Amino acid sequence: MGAPSLLRNLNLRQHIAGLKAEWNVLETSPYLRALKDGSFERGDFLETQRQFFAAVAHFSRPMALLASRLPRPELRLPLVENVFDEHGRGARSHGHEHTFQLLLERLGASGEQLHDGAFGPEVRKFNVALTGIAAFEPPHTGLAVFGIIEDLFSGISLELGRGIVARGWLAADQVVHYPTHATLDEEHADGFYRQLDAPYDASPSAARDIEQGLLLGGHLLLGLYEDLYRARRRRHP
């Protein structure tokens, strides 16, 4: 694997843009549609977000595992920076787990609920999949998985923040976590994609691994939201 490219690979970026256009997440996601049209009941939304907390708390761990599999420091560094961002760059109050907990508490969740371990199979499947990918899949596949998840989550975060305000559940200045991800995750996604720009044209096998990773990452994140929406009325003891 070579160092992250300074030039964007237009073929790769066009492929990514095509996938995002095909998925059309903001229009086709039942989760986001329900939030936008007002049919998502607040209690159900909060429960799904409480479930999603387990994904937020876990996300940096498989990323760190993937970084450990990259052979050279210049390859590991972008992922290490990303993990550092996830941890508030050393300031715990700015860490993503902390800011998401603060948002959920403002929406009505309790800290005890978030740390009681009562999470359903939907989010557990997502977390286990990311760990397995980071540990056992080709590194190019893992980088593509994390890159597309960060990319998609940027747009989803913007919609979630807007939806919370539009429903009148919180004032705009009370919505934390999602505004940060709406911008920061674009940068994180680009960091992953730059690791893939050169390999994408280097060999057919590398391009295949990358394209499979992009599909897999989209499948995992969008599938998680669909699964959480279907299970929105389930309450865990």
Residue-wise pLDDT for 66-105, tens only, equals 999 999 999 999 999 888 887 867 657 566 788 999 999 9
Whether 237 maps to a domain, the answer reads: no
| pLDDT value, residue 153 | 94
Q: Of how many residues is the chain composed?
A: 237
| pLDDT value, residue 1 | 59
Whether 2 maps to a domain, the answer reads: no
Residue 165 has pLDDT above 80, yes or no: yes
Whether 5 maps to a domain, the answer reads: no
Q: Mean pLDDT in the chain? A: 92
How far apart, in whole angstroms, are the C-alpha atoms of residue 208 and residue 196? 12
Whether 1 maps to a domain, the answer reads: no
How far apart, in whole angstroms, are the C-alpha atoms of residue 139 and residue 63? 11
Q: Is residue 50 classed exposed, middle or buried when 0-12, 13-18 and 19+ CB atoms within 10 A define those classes? A: buried
In this predicted structure, which of 49-63, 79-93, 107-121, 126-140 has the lowest mean pLDDT?
A: 79-93
Q: What angle do CA 177, 95, 229 make, to 5 degrees?
A: 45
* Better-predicted residue by pLDDT, 169 or 6: 169
CATH number of the domain that residue 76 is part of: 1.20.910.10
How far apart, in whole angstroms, are the C-alpha atoms of residue 1 and residue 40? 45
Whether 3 maps to a domain, the answer reads: no
How far apart, in whole angstroms, are the C-alpha atoms of residue 206 and residue 143? 12
Domain count, the chain: 1
How far apart, in whole angstroms, are the C-alpha atoms of residue 172 and residue 187? 23
Report whether 49 contacts 161 (CB < 8 A). no
Whether 149 maps to a domain, the answer reads: yes
Whether 220 maps to a domain, the answer reads: yes
Residue 5 has pLDDT above 70, yes or no: no
From residue 39, how far is each of 16, 45, 163, 229 by CA, in Å? 31, 10, 11, 12
The boundaries of the domain holding residue 45 are 10-230
The counts of H helices and E strands in the chain are 12, 0
Give CB contacts under 8 A, 24+ apart, made by 134-137.
Answer: 134/62, 134/63, 134/65, 134/66, 134/69, 135/62, 135/65, 135/69, 137/209, 137/213
Q: Mapped to the 3 state alphabet, what secondary structure does 83-97 carry?
A: HHHHCHHHCHHHCHH
Whether 73 maps to a domain, the answer reads: yes
Residue 28 has pLDDT above 70, yes or no: yes
Q: Enter the DSSP assignment of 119.
A: -
Q: How confident is the model at residue 21 (pLDDT cuts 50, 70, 90)?
A: very high
Report whether 192 contacts 213 (CB < 8 A). no
Residue 199 has pLDDT above 90, yes or no: yes
Q: How confident is the model at residue 111 (pLDDT cuts 50, 70, 90)?
A: confident
